[in-house]
Chain A
Amino acid sequence: MSNNAWLIAALPLGAFALIALGARRSPALSAWLTILAIGLGGALSLQVLREIAAGARIEQSMEWLPLGHGLGLTVGFQVDPLTAIMLVVVTSVSLLVQIYSLGYMHGDNGYSRYYAAMSLFTFSMLGLVLANSLLTMYIFWELVGLCSYLLIGHWHERPEASAAAKKAFIVTRLGDFGFLLGILFLYWHAGTLEFRGLEEAAAAGRIPAAALTVGMLLVFCGAVGKSAQFPLHVWLPDAMEGPTPVSALIHAATMVVAGVYLMARTFPLLEHSATAMMVVAVVGGFTAIFAASMGIVANDIKRVLAYSTVSQLGYMIMAIGLGAMSAGMFHLFNHAFFKALLFLCAGSLIHLMDTNDLSAMGGLRRQRPITFIATTIAALSLAGIFPLSGFWSKDEILAAAASTNPLLFAAALATVFLTATYMFRLIFLAFLGNPRGQTHDHPEPLSMTIPLLVLIVPSVASGLLGTALFGNPFGSFLEGRAVTAEVNLPVAGISTAVALAGILLAWVLYGDGRVEASARLAARFQPVHTLLVNRYYMDHLYNGFVARIVLGFGWLSNRIDLSLIDAFVNGIGSTTISAATSMRRMQSGQLQAYAWAFFAGTVALAVVAALPLLMGTR
């Protein structure tokens, strides 16, 4: 199966094509085509996982643009442990989200369009993880960006949604520009874009150290944009304008981790540059605490989760920067499940209330007991409470930070505290106390409840795959050799204590759904609150300062374009056309004229041929 792993990506592409070609007329057919394709892909992914675990490694590529002399570009795919894990994560979360969407999107006008875009997205994301070169990856990288744009703007008639879609696209494009430069830069130095070739070149020292640092930092720009790291994190909270299942799949579990995956994939290159590693770790660590602090004050349930995602992505990036690549990937793996679960729970509440506003919820534990339990389990996992999945991967990252960089360790610990606080603030405000808002009186469709129940299992247990208890199968699989996992007891103890303290604080402040606590706190810590609510004024900065410069530059360019370049181009155009008109006149339709032209041409050719002889140069 691994030999044909590309099939896994091709299946959703086929679903997309069928929907686009006509199945779109039947919404139900569109949905089931998507689910069928992804379900099949998921089964194949599990088979691939088994084969890879048995030691198979696949890489196939074909010449795409052969230019001779060892130049040219190739495209292809590869399957190794890293890819196999991502295939399973993407297909499984995607499958559950598509099933959930059956109920959540029911009756939506763009139901078929939604499933078409979801199929295209899943294809692109699978292509991205299968890619065996930076070039192939970049193609899919841009495709997932496009799908993200289409899905955030799914309700395009809402101005906020289309603005958010544009913002997401443009902000990530900024990072992608750096990524593209990095690709060109690395190609220039290594002469290949295949990961294996690049790794060999870096290992053999064929890429100068400084060039490798610059190249990898440029590549990292792509990850900063896609994985919403500081300072390009601003798009992700706004992206919550998309349908909630989209947020769960794309903006929590899969697409946003593409940046993390990119860094893990290029880790063998990154390793050779201490400077680049440092930058990556610091950006990740800073983003983790920075985003978590904004999560404390957000009142939109999805935005709290969005800040949480940014923060957790920062964790993963930091882990890779600290050299703990497998810990970062392990966290990605666990996070995908519990964060998807959190978003689907949020969707369940929004479906019930028709609002995202936490202050309008309250007391929902009675109407949605399953959602309540699921949210609590996922939140405990996210906060890193033993023995849920989040505990194990977070502990590995913290241990890595503790042993290398005390400052980042402190930041990571503070993040643990903030994470526990904002998650339990969310739970207390939404589920405890008395109802504050109107709810619909309809039962939740089964298609929405089942994915929640299914996702509880990995949210509780996926972490066990990385424990010494079971011989650390995750780490050994990823590294391709037996790796032991050790729990760093002091670190684990401290982090658990800190997380419990965070939960306790949330209880003291908001226990029993005391929504008025928010206002009281806001008044008490007014300057800090204002700063956080305004998201550190980053968006203002971008909108005001940067936009003014960019627009000013645009205005100037436009003037130059109109007065200088257009005049020049138009001049060439009119000259060409007048030349064309006069040439056309030669085409008279007269046979004799044509014959003359033919002979004149023959003579001219003969003269030119004989010119060297006539001139005596031969």
Chain B
Amino acid sequence: MNVAILSPEISLGAAAAVILLAEAFSAGNLSRVAILALATLGIAVSAAFLIPAQLAGVPTSSFSGAFIQNGFTIYFKLLMLMATFLVLLGSGRFLAQAEGRRAELVALVLLTTAALMLLVSSTELITLYISLEMASLSTAFLAAWMKHQERSAEAGLKFFLLNALSSAVLLYGIALLYGITGQTQLNGIARELVGGATPALLLALALLLAGFGFKVSAVPFHMWTPDVYEGAPTPITAYLSVASKAAGFAVIVRVLQTALPGVQTEWVGLIAILAAVTMTVGNIVAMVQTNIKRMLAYSTIAQAGYILVGVAAGTGQGLGAVLFYLAAYTATNLGAFIAIVEIADRTGSERTSDFAGLHARAPWLAFALAISLLSLAGLPPLAGFFAKIYVFWAAIQTGLGWLVLLGVLNSAISLFYYAQVIHHMYMVPAPSPAPGRSLPTLVAGLTVAIAGVFALGIFSGFFMGLAETAARTLTQ
């Protein structure tokens, strides 16, 4: 048993423990910068364990094959570490103000990331389920962080209850799969499933997709998303919208590709339908939102729809496109959310109409938000444009032309609400100058995210190459 394979996760756990202890020994007065420094150290050590095992490196597994490390998992883990790092940097004054409790918050975020990293590496259903629950439980705590605010407490409770529901459904699916095959190992399941689709298997498939659909906010399992995203503290929303979602997609493609290739025709159809409904509903409902966090919640639902298009393609090319899309989406969404953390902090409002004239008051924030929104809408030369191109192109190759057409129409719709925010920021005159300077850490986080949005777009070929290499190791 090779425990060292867990070093990246252990590093994060150790960092969380150190932060909690340091907080205890400093009588609850550990400074924000000190906490951030410790967290960054933990993340850096974790990444340092991952990077030598190169993306195309030899896969290693441990714990009787329940845990694997290969290019695919490394890609996702690095992505999530980067996202965690940027979220912590971009949390701005929220962390500064959370006097006395911020160490717990940061420690919980690190532990959640560790759980998500375990999830990405799980190749056995029970391990997978436990990791998922670990991540979900801490997510509920994080959502309810501002426990004295009704909205935040409600968000945490809603997430907890609905998540329990979806976990039950997922567990039912897992149980059925075990009943059919007698296996919990993903590749073992694939070995047993040679006879094609049976009613029980299709039911298991539907239950699994419902459970995973909940995690990535696919319609109609998305209902929790707007309420939780709006109620949770904005940095936590940012975290949920990128790290949790990336892990969710990692699990979906892993289970579908390694355990269920025998029923590929069936799941391609189901995923295609989910993709179609998800992007359409997400975009249409986003149009009438007035709160920017709610709007972005629906926007992330729509983005999940586009990613599902790539999953539905089901090919190696589609898988590479999904991985690239997730990287592009992570950079873009973090850019948008970090900007909103700061804007909402300064204006004291999350209503899009209160963003009027922002470009005059905070030109860099307005520019960063505008670039992120344009990338989400899929305009060249930003990351979002190329991400969509690759995903749609992969889908066209497998004959999902109708889905791509719908995706293109959806992109056109989405521009409406994204552009509306930009319109407010740049065209509507400013009511009054807002005071305040941004924390340097926030500016740094925002700058890295926006640089990523540009770099992933302009050098998309290079990053797509990385994503495809990583994707290839999944099915090897």
Name A's B-contacting residues (CB within 8 A): 62-68, 72, 74, 573, 576-577, 579-581, 583-584, 587, 589, 591, 593-595, 597-598, 600-602, 604-606, 608-610, 612-613, 618
Contact = CB atoms under 8 A, between A and B. Distances in A.
> From DSSP, what is the main secondary structure of chain A's interface residues?
helix
A583 B281 contact: yes
B223 interface: yes
A45 to B, nearest CB: 25
Nearest to A73: B461
Given A64-B461, A605-B270, A609-B266, A576 B413 contact: yes
Contact of A608 (B270, B317, B393, B413): B270
Nearest to B397: A68
Interface string B207-249: 1011001100001110110110000000000000000000000
Contacts of B206: 602, 605-606, 608-610
Contacts of A587: 223, 226-227, 285
A606 B201 CA distance: 10
Given A598-B169, A606-B202, A606-B206, 5 more contacts: A68-B317, A576-B284, A601-B219, A605-B206, A612-B266
Interface residues of B, number: 47
A602 B207 contact: yes
B270 A591 contact: no
- Most A CB within 10 A of own CB, among B209, B274, B285: B285
B202 A613 contact: yes
A66 B266 CA distance: 29
A609 B270 contact: yes
A72 B214 CA distance: 36
B460 interface: yes
A591 B162 contact: yes
A591 B158 contact: yes
Nearest to B267: A609
Nearest to A578: B288
B326 to A, nearest CB: 18
B266 A600 contact: no
Given A62-B461, A64-B461, A601-B210, A584 B220 contact: no
Contacts of B223: 587, 593-594, 597-598
A66 B158 contact: no
A610 B284 contact: no
Interface of B: 158, 161-162, 165-166, 169, 197, 199, 202-203, 205-207, 209-210, 213-214, 219-221, 223-224, 226-227, 266, 269-270, 273-274, 281, 284-285, 287-288, 317, 386, 389, 393, 397, 413, 416, 459-462, 464-465
Contacts of B413: 576
Contacts of B285: 580, 583-584, 587
A516 to B, nearest CB: 58
B220 A66 contact: no
B16 to A, nearest CB: 31
Nearest to A610: B202
5 contacts: A62-B462, A63-B464, A65-B386, A66-B461, A601-B220
Given A583-B285, A605-B210, A589 B227 contact: yes
B288 A580 contact: yes
A597 B219 CA distance: 10
A614 to B, nearest CB: 9
B288 A605 contact: no
A618 B462 CA distance: 43
Closest 4 CB pairs of A and B: A601-B220, A63-B461, A606-B206, A594-B223
A63 B219 CA distance: 36
Contact of B220 (A63, A576, A600, A606): A600
Contact of A63 (B162, B166, B221, B465): B465
Contacts of B197: 612-613, 618
Contact of A577 (B219, B266, B287, B465): B287
Contacts of B226: 587
Contacts of B214: 598
Contact of B165 (A64, A595, A600): A595
Contacts of A608: 206, 269-270, 273
B281 A609 contact: no
